[in-house]
Amino acid sequence: MKKILLPILLFIMFIPNVVFAKSIKIGDYVFLVPDLDTYTVPSDITGFEPTAQLNNTIQPNELKLWRVININNDGTFDLVSEYISSRTVIFSGTIGYANLIGGLQLIASKYANEEFTVNTRMMGYDGQTLTIDDTSRFDGSISTLDSLVATGSPIEGNGFENSNGVLGDTLYLKDIQLVGNVYKNNPEIYGDSGLISYKVSNNTPYRYWLASRVNDFDRNEFVFGGRNIYNTGILTYTHLRDYSPNDSSNRWYDNNFTNSVRPIITIKSNIKVIDGLGSKDDPFIISSLKNSNITIVNDDNIGSIKKIKMNDTAEEASIVLFSVLPKKEYKLESINIIDEKGNRIEYKKTDKENEYEFIMPDTDVTITPIYKKIESINVPDTLKNPNTGTGISMIIITTLLLVSSITYIIFKRKKNYIMK
């Protein structure tokens, strides 16, 4: 019997959000370390020239504790950092206002973990204009701002953006609602809004940036600034570029402002929990689901594997579906599915004929169908073919024997009757 080693090409049905032992839900804590040690934000983005003490350098991998604030439709998870950065980032003036959103998004990207994250954002980002190319409305190119309409600082309602970000936005609303809903049940620590956060270095509350611009009229000044959450958990904003119509000597001026950052990361759906309780003191430790090879060992002369769809690998915890088709002289006795450690993998029959499934482990597997020949009764060839001369003779002899037997029985009965 010749055995052929073939890669199995199977139909894989993936189960979103599959985790082993525990399920991740909103409010759970996850331990995850960003890949990057340090990052210095370029001055051409922030508008601030760094000094020895204020160098706009952050340490992404200091933020290791994250909390689930949302589960997306595709099974991915949004996690906000429990703490804010120990070091602050300064934005300043025209350049800082124009690049505020893009700069904060750039900073957020430095908190990625290549194995787990599929997206990053700074808290408050929801599609705002990253960079304002036309800065004439706030760089001093025009002498009057009579046409400006201030957006103010609303904290509720539908998010929107004015003049492509020039006049600010309220798109930050989505994130402060997601974060607030998770944390506001503990107001003693996180405030009534649920937005208070603490520096990771010394556990003290501090203000942090939101990825949102604001244009307002405050104290007889037109303000172009950036939103932030204050250390008391209230929503406020900074002044980056101001216009004072009452100051005839210097109507435009720049401001520097510094805040910590609080990133949000999106992690992939195909993960498993390997340790932890999901609490702040004992967060989940996660691991990626592995892709492993599937191979079959099969004798094509007596049976076949139906390749429903072409795949030669499967993801851990996915359902692998296949069918076994014995030839008519054989039947399927069993299926051996063995992982690379020698463990037998359980399988079950589906409601379709000859179809089977199993859950893919975290190792390569080999599938070997075991066939058994169907036993049959041996019939002489002469009886199988009565058209041959020998076949006809056998029929005649069989008929004569049968007639003789019947005649003998009748004679015997008659003789017995006469004797009586």
DSSP structure class, residue 42: -
Judge if 37 and 132 occupy the same domain.
Answer: yes
pLDDT confidence band for 11 (50 / 70 / 90):
very low
pLDDT confidence band for 308 (50 / 70 / 90):
low
The answer to whether residue 123 scores a pLDDT higher than 80 is yes
Residue after which a domain boundary falls, among 268, 284, 300: 284
| Residue 14 resides in a domain | no
| Residue 67 resides in a domain | yes
Neighbour-count burial for 307-344, b at 16+ CB within 10 Å, e otherwise: beeebebbbbbbbbbbbbebeeebeeeebebbbeeeee
Q: With beta carbons less than 8 A apart as the criterion, state whether 140 and 107 touch.
A: no
Token pair of 217 as six digits: 């009229």
Burial (CB < 10 A; 0-12, 13-18, 19+), residue 208, is buried
The answer to whether residue 185 scores a pLDDT higher than 60 is yes
CA diameter of the chain: 156
The answer to whether residue 61 scores a pLDDT higher than 90 is yes
Judge if 219 and 366 occupy the same domain.
Answer: no
pLDDT confidence band for 246 (50 / 70 / 90):
confident
Neighbour-count burial for 130-164, b at 16+ CB within 10 Å, e otherwise: bebeebebbbeeeeebeebebbebeeeeebebbbe
Judge if 248 and 359 occupy the same domain.
Answer: no
**pLDDT at residue 251, as a whole number:** 80
| Mean pLDDT estimate for the chain | 84
Residue after which a domain boundary falls, among 264, 284, 304: 284
Judge if 336 and 397 occupy the same domain.
Answer: no
- Name the β-bridge partners of 355: 323
DSSP structure class, residue 378: -
Q: With beta carbons less than 8 A apart as the criterion, state whether 119 and 74 touch.
A: no
| Residue 6 resides in a domain | no
Judge if 356 and 252 occupy the same domain.
Answer: no
| Residue 13 resides in a domain | no
| Residue 60 resides in a domain | yes
Judge if 267 and 362 occupy the same domain.
Answer: no
Q: With beta carbons less than 8 A apart as the criterion, state whether 6 and 83 touch.
A: no
Judge if 257 and 304 occupy the same domain.
Answer: no
pLDDT confidence band for 215 (50 / 70 / 90):
confident
Judge if 114 and 241 occupy the same domain.
Answer: yes
Report the number of distinct structural domains present in the chain. Answer: 3
- Residue 162 neighbours by CB under 8 Å, 6+ apart: 149, 151, 168, 169, 215
Q: With beta carbons less than 8 A apart as the criterion, state whether 365 and 294 touch.
A: yes
Quick one: what percent of the chain has pLDDT higher than 70?
78
Q: Which domain holds residue 35?
A: 19-284
Give the CATH number of the domain where residue 301 resides. 2.60.40
Residue after which a domain boundary falls, among 284, 305, 336: 284
Judge if 125 and 256 occupy the same domain.
Answer: yes
pLDDT confidence band for 157 (50 / 70 / 90):
very low
Helices (H) then strands (E): counts for the chain: 7, 26
| Residue 12 resides in a domain | no
Pinpoint the alpha helices (H) of 139-284.
173-183, 187-190
| Residue 70 resides in a domain | yes
Judge if 125 and 211 occupy the same domain.
Answer: yes
Judge if 226 and 135 occupy the same domain.
Answer: yes
| Residue 38 resides in a domain | yes
pLDDT confidence band for 90 (50 / 70 / 90):
very high
Work out the average pLDDT over 221-250.
87
Judge if 275 and 369 occupy the same domain.
Answer: no
